């Protein structure tokens, strides 16, 4: 059942939250508002006694209670027992900070519909618990009404029984022989009434865990009857997933079980379909990255081929520069294609491969040392591409001009992320950029690209240079 459906069903229902911690109370309220919208009426109380006062003043209006077990005027199950004593028909969902399994078991035995641990549920789980609690309570009320009608009039019982929209089995607790079944059983399971009369309930149940089945059967004897998910088999052999809620009662001195069956096969199939759809989209996105990478690499290869035929050294240089720019973009898609996370690029791996390519293009060896300190930073693709091109331009310029005659030197990249920004430093210890002011006025293509891409990142760029080297600092927002 999706969130939209839950939201629709839970509208206009009134819920009482009994919680003394303001932060927890606000969080529960936000969760309820998220699924139920403004039409969901929520009331709040700080103590068990205040909660009882609200229940008395709104008798018949409150349909579910969300209860904390640690309150100023009660502890453990004291508050729960006090509420159940006076308002036994209102379902209670426990919301506790305690992970005590014994306490949780006692609460469920005492009649709690669910036991949620603070910090381990979200709005979907909370609202599903509330919805199911209300629905189960409504169903129980209806069954009690039906039982009363059965005692008063067999004809009225038969009318309600046959027109129940859910499949209902009635069988002997000891022998498991089917005593009765409604028309929905015939429709859901495909048996005729004559065939149903010859069945035992074990003929439709597929039991993979005998101990579990026996435990559930024995639990009926003790009056414990929580809904269970299990597997049933239709007449044609088709398997269906069902939720079964069973009630044991005596009829003419005979132990009888009334089992109400909800076919949840389509719900489970819908869940699996959503998972499969997500997997398909991940594969499609991976294929897109693969094809973009291949197309960019083809463009880079064509430029390289053209450079091999060119005679003019300036043309060759420009073609090589453009090739490395395209490669820096294709590398982002290559990283995403080979990553389990199709949204983020691991910065260290990306920088290593980008610089490996430049060192190879310009025939640089170990004489120029690379120092990279970016930690475990990851970037979104929209950030990684322009940042990669900035790094490509600066590194290319450094390899061309910073180290005349290929003397020994150092090229470094460092990045630090704080709450709102990422600061990246790129530089070398070469001879520096002579006449930087004049170069900035001329706006060379490489420097233009660096400035344009910095603006694209909504960041700032600063350059400092002297005879001991050059440092570029780019600061841009994290998102």
Task: Give 130-197 as a DSSP string.
Answer: HHHHHHHHHHHHHHHHHHHHHHH-HHHHHHHHHT-SSEEEEEETTT-BEEEE-HHHHHHH---HHHHT
| CATH number for the domain harbouring residue 182 | 3.30.450.20
d(CA 370, CA 141): 74
d(CA 169, CA 174): 15
pLDDT at position 211 is 67
3-state secondary structure of 227: coil
Determine, yes or no, domain membership for 215: yes
124: domain range?
3-147
Highest mean pLDDT among 93-102, 234-243, 388-397: 234-243
Select the more confidently predicted residue: 439 or 314.
314
Residues 237 and 288 in one domain: no
SS3 labels along 66-111: EECCEECCEECCHHHHHHHHHCCCCCEEEEECCCCHHHHHHHHHHC
pLDDT at position 411 is 93
pLDDT of 191 above 90: yes
104-131 pLDDT tens trace: 888 888 888 889 988 888 888 888 888 8
pLDDT of 7 above 50: no
What's the whole-model pTM score?
A: 0.40
pLDDT at position 426 is 94
Residues 281 and 322 in one domain: yes
- The residue from 235, 263, 291 where one domain ends is 263
Tell me the CA distances in angstroms from 428 to 287, 410, 463, 472, one per residue in order: 38, 6, 12, 9
Alpha helices in 182-246 (DSSP H): 183-189, 193-196, 210-221
Count of structural domains, the chain:
4
Q: Identify whether the C-beta of residue 80 lies closer than 8 Å to the C-beta of residue 69.
A: yes
Place of tokens 């609460």: 107
pLDDT at position 425 is 95
Place of tokens 């020994």: 408
Confidence of residue 208 (pLDDT cuts 50, 70, 90): low
Q: Identify whether the C-beta of residue 342 lies closer than 8 Å to the C-beta of residue 282.
A: yes
Nearest to 89 by CA among 42, 49, 137: 137
pLDDT of 155 above 80: no
| CATH number for the domain harbouring residue 20 | 3.40.50.2300
3-state secondary structure of 423: strand
pLDDT of 186 above 80: yes
Determine, yes or no, domain membership for 354: no
pLDDT of 457 above 70: yes
Rounded mean pLDDT of 250-274?
Answer: 84
Angle formed by the axes of helices 381-397 and 347-361, nearest 10°? 30
Confidence of residue 98 (pLDDT cuts 50, 70, 90): confident
337-363 pLDDT tens trace: 565 664 577 888 888 888 888 888 777
Determine, yes or no, domain membership for 433: yes
Determine, yes or no, domain membership for 355: no
Residues 181 and 227 in one domain: yes
Q: Identify whether the C-beta of residue 161 lies closer than 8 Å to the C-beta of residue 167.
A: no
d(CA 270, CA 2): 10
Nearest to 245 by CA among 168, 185, 184: 168
pLDDT at position 349 is 85
Residues 326 and 400 in one domain: no
| CATH number for the domain harbouring residue 385 | 3.30.565.10
- The residue from 229, 263, 297 where one domain ends is 263
Q: How many CB atoms lie within 10 A of CB 427?
A: 21
pLDDT of 371 above 90: yes
Residues 17 and 132 in one domain: yes
Average pLDDT taken over every residue of the chain: 80
């Amino acid at each position: 059942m999706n969130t939209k459906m839950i939201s629709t069903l839970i509208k206009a229902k009134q819920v009482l939250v009994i919680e003394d911690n303001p932060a927890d109370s606000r969080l529960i309220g936000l969760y309820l508002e998220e699924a139920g919208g403004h039409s969901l009426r929520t009331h709040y109380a700080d103590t068990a006694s205040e909660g009882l006062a609200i229940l008395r003043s709104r008798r018949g209006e409150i349909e579910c209670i969300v209860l904390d077990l640690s309150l100023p005027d009660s502890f453990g199950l004291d508050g729960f027992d006090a509420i159940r004593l006076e308002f036994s028909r209102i379902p209670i969902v426990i919301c506790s900070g305690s992970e005590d399994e014994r306490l949780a078991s006692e609460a469920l035995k005492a009649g709690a519909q669910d036991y949620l641990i603070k910090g381990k549920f979200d709005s979907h789980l909370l609202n599903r618990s509330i919805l199911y609690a209300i629905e189960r309570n409504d169903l129980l009320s209806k069954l009690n009404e039906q039982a009363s009608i059965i005692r008063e009039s067999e004809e009225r019982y038969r009318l309600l029984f046959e027109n129940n929209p859910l499949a209902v089995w009635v069988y002997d607790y000891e022998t498991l022989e089917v005593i009765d079944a409604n028309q929905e059983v015939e429709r859901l399971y495909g048996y005729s009434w004559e065939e149903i009369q010859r069945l035992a309930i074990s003929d439709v149940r597929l039991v993979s865990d005998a101990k579990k089945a026996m435990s559930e059967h024995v639990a009926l004897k003790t009056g414990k009857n929580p809904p269970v998910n299990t597997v049933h088999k239709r007449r044609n052999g088709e398997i269906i997933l069902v939720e079964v809620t069973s009630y044991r009662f005596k009829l003419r001195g005979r132990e009888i079980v009334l089992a109400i069956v909800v076919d949840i096969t389509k719900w489970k199939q819908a869940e699996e379909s959503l998972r499969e759809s997500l997997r398909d989209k991940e594969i499609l996105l991976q294929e897109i990255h693969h094809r973009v990478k291949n197309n960019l690499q083809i463009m880079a290869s064509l430029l390289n081929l053209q450079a091999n035929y060119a005679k003019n050294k300036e043309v060759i240089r420009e073609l090589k520069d453009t090739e490395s720019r395209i490669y820096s973009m294709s590398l982002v898609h290559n990283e995403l294609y080979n990553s389990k996370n199709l949204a983020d690029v691991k910065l260290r791996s990306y920088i290593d491969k980008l610089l490996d390519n430049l060192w190879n293009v310009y025939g640089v060896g170990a004489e120029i040392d690379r120092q990279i300190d970016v930690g475990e930073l990851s970037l979104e693709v929209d950030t990684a591409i322009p940042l990669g091109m900035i790094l490509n331009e600066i590194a290319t310029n450094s390899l061309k001009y910073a180290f005349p005659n290929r003397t020994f030197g150092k090229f470094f990249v460092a990045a630090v992320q704080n709450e709102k920004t990422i600061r990246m430093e790129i530089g070398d210890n070469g001879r520096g950029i002579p006449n930087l002011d004049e170069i900035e006025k001329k706006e060379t293509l490489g420097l233009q690209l660096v400035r344009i891409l910095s603006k694209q990142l909504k960041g700032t760029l600063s350059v400092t240079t002297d005879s001991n080297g050059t440092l570029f600092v780019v600061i841009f927002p994290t998102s």
